[in-house]
Amino acid sequence: MISKKWLQVAGVAGVVPFILTACGGNSDGGDGGDGGSELSGTIAIDGSSTVGPLSEVAAEMFMNENSGVQVSVAQSGTGGGFEKFCQGETDMNDASREIKDEEIAACEENEIAFESVQVANDALAIVVNPENPLECITVDQASQIWNEGSTVSTWGDVDGIDVGDLSGEDITLYGPGSSSGTFDYFTDAINGEEGVIRNDYTDIGEDDQAAVVGVEGDAGAMAYIPYSYFTEAGDAVKPLQIDAGDGCVEPTLENVQDGSYTPLGRGLFVYASDVALQEQAAVDFMNFYIENSDQITETAGYVPLTEEQKAAANEQIESLTS
Amino acid sequence: MVIDKGKRPQRSRLAVAGARAATDSIFATSSRSDRIGNVLFRSLLLLGMGVALLGLVAIILWSLVEGAPRLDAELITEGPSSIMPESAGYRTAILGTLWVIGGVVLFIVPVGVGAAIYLEEYADKTRWWNRAIEVNIQNLAAVPSIVFGILGLAFIVRGPLSLGFVAAAGSFTLSLLVLPTVILAAREAIKAVPNSTRLGSLGLGATKWQTIWHHVLPGALPGILTGLILSVSRAIGESAPLLLVGAVTFVTFDPSFLEGQYSVLPVQIYNYAGRPQEEFRVLAAAGVILMLAVLLTMNSFAIWLRNHYENKNAR
């Protein structure tokens, strides 16, 4: 008697979640929309958390027109994404830097050929608290602060920087983790070698917003963040002008596009594997990404491609598919 | 043995009265410093409880205030959207979480309870290997979740099982993560079943298995369910190991168990909370409330079951 009931109860307990899921799945059969095209397939994208939101917008717009295609976007970081990409586990990889030699080797080992297409421009900004009177920083000064073995602990320790009352203030540093393309790019541009950086800064992993919150709440803080984060942050943080030897340059859309914002202006890329590009859906998606890049970059808050960059991207896609 | 029915109640009444008088006399003459000590100790206990509750209340209140504009039907019925965050929802993440946690429950109940029965009822505790297993299970419960994520990536997603980045892989990984908790709780529950129950059943000619199935397990069920509730609550909130075994942040199609990409609520919330746009952060706060609701819904069934069996056993 007891055992019978017990069995029933156990059975119900096990089955309930699955009934729930099944119901959930069926309740929205009409969601598909009417793209009208017979294109179908799946595209798995992983990679940079900087490029991720951009690819999400592209994927969503693409799926609105092609309801048969399923695009998913994950954000493991540029390096974390390449690790999967080169094992053939994803179709495309978002990258906020170019692929590294050891990653190329890993891809070759698994016989995965790939091509990269630039999908947007981005800029890293060095940001400080709005209370900080500093307006412009040279690459040398930035390197003094961020380089491996740096002895700078207060603002007064940095050569040629006068921040008045804040001179005695500790510089609290925020930066992304080492699997981030943003980290690789910044260390290469500022410290001269990829991965070289002092090791006592606050590691925010892939969560760039944490740097904004950190800098906003601390008068002495400093961080480097992607373009979309400081444009959205408004007055919460202050982006510094960068002087790479030709005077101070502000991180504006125009300066990033024309290349005068150096060395922290960069391209954002999508890498596609040759296996993925044998599918028509993947090829169409890449074309769609470039054709609609103005709208996609604007929605996601990135710097759009210039006409020359678009032409170059189109050529690349053509060479991939022929 | 002859029991004197007349004298016994009277004797116990006397004992009760004596005990009460002794206690009264101590408290009646308690000094001022004793009373202060009592009050102090009591407020310390209250403070402890207050701190524990405060964190929870703060999170819920903050999420309610922050996420209020987005606590609507679209939060459940719509999938994620980066173009229109104002009307985006957690549909695919909820379904992903249900698949993953459903799989966890199906896996940990038989395996966890089975292991507990073996360790309590069958294992010879004088053998060193059984003691080694015990110590290991206790230690496993303290291993950081990310380690299970790496294990899942190496052995479940890739390697021997090679399931790929699917919800089933997430289920298995989380199952391994919470199994120690289930086993430990189930063992305690089984241990608490009085030995006289077993002896009585065996004495009446039941086999060992009949004894366990008909008498030990029903008696231990409330304790086992408590362990299950704790485990599911932990599993549903895990994001770190799932990130490693393939939980994706942007899936617009309904996931399935063995095929295709999936997302889960905590991963989706984590991702939205880190976005630069305000709309996403409101969405993340609303997601916290949603996740609590999903968790309570899933657990309420187990809680109902537990209360049901507790009452039954008490009768």
- Residue pLDDT, tens place only, B119-177: 999 988 888 998 899 899 989 888 999 999 999 999 999 988 889 899 999 999 999 99
Q: Identify which has the larger pLDDT, B254 or A15.
A: B254
| Residues forming a β-bridge with A94 | A47, A270
**Which chain B residue is nearest to residue A50, measuring alpha carbons?**
B275
Verify cis geometry, omega within 30 degrees of 0, for the bond prior to A263. yes
Which chain B residue's Cα is nearest to A230?
B276
Q: Which residues contact B235 (CB under 8 A, 6 or more apart)?
A: B100, B101, B104, B174, B175, B177, B178
Which of B111, B217, B251, B261 would best serve as a mutation to test chain A binding (most A beta carbons within 10 A)? B261
Q: Is A24 on the interface with B (CB under 8 A)?
A: yes
Contact residues, chain A, for B105 at CB < 8 Å: 13-14, 17
Q: Which residues of A touch B275 (CB under 8 A)?
A: 53, 209
A208 and B246 within 8 Å at the Cβ level: the answer is no
Architecture per CATH, A123-265: 3-Layer(aba) Sandwich (3.40)
The set of residues, in sequence order, having a beta carbon less than 8 Å from that of B94 and lying 6+ positions away, is A24, B76, B265, B290, B294
- Give the pLDDT of residue A190: 92
**B99: chain A residues, CB-CB within 8 Å:** 17, 21
Contact state of A24 with B254 under an 8 Å Cβ cutoff: yes
Searching chain A, which residue's CA lies closest to the CA of residue B302?
A: A13
Which are the contacts of B241, defined by CB distance < 8 A and separation ≥ 6? Answer: B145, B146, B148, B149, B152, B173, B174, B177
Q: If you average pLDDT over residues A280-305, what whole number do you get?
A: 90
For residues B195-201, give the mean pLDDT: 94
Say if A234 is an interface residue toward chain B (CB within 8 Å): no
| Chain A residue numbers touching B298 (CB-CB < 8 A) | 17
Question: Tokens 């412009």, residue?
Answer: A136
CB pairs < 8 Å spanning A and B: 118
Please name each of the domains of chain B with its CATH number: 7-69 (no CATH), 73-314 (1.10.3720.10)
Distance from CA of B105 to the nearest CA of A (A): 7
How far the first Cα of chain A sits from its last, in Å, is 71
Contact (CB, 8 A) for A141 and A161: yes
Residue from B81, B91, B98, B262 whose CB has the most chain A CBs within 10 Å, to mutate:
B98
Q: Outline which parts of chain A fall under CATH 3.40.190.10.
A: 41-121+267-321, 123-265
Instruction: Express as a percent the part of chain B with pLDDT over 70.
Output: 95
Provide the Cα torsion A306, A310, A311, A316; round to 10°: 140
Phi and psi torsions of A215, nearest 5°: -70, -35
Work out the pLDDT band at A33, boundaries 50, 70, 90.
very low
* Confidence check: pLDDT of B312 > 70: yes
CB distance A20–B252 less than 8 Å?
Answer: no
pLDDT by residue (tens digit) across A237-259?
999 999 988 889 999 888 988 88
Contact A24 B95 (CB under 8 A): yes
Chain B residues whose beta carbon lies within 8 Å of the beta carbon of residue A73: 248-250
Please give the DSSP secondary-structure letter assigned to residue B303: H
DSSP states along A152-220: --BGGGSTT---GGGGGSB--EEE--TTSHHHHHHHHHHHSSTT---S-SEE-TT-HHHHHHHHHT-TT
- Report pTM: 0.79
Q: Which residues pair with A92 in a beta bridge?
A: A45, A272
CATH entry, A41-121+267-321, from 3.60.21.10, 3.40.50.720, 1.20.58.1690, 3.40.190.10 = 3.40.190.10
What is the nearest CA distance from A205 to chain B, expressed in angstroms? 11
Q: Is A60 on the interface with B (CB under 8 A)?
A: yes
Is the CB of A52 less than 8 angstroms away from the CB of B81?
A: no
User: CB–CB of A17 and B249 under 8 A?
Assistant: no
pLDDT digits over B55-82, tens only? 889 999 999 999 999 899 889 999 899 8
Averaged pLDDT score across all residues of chain B = 88
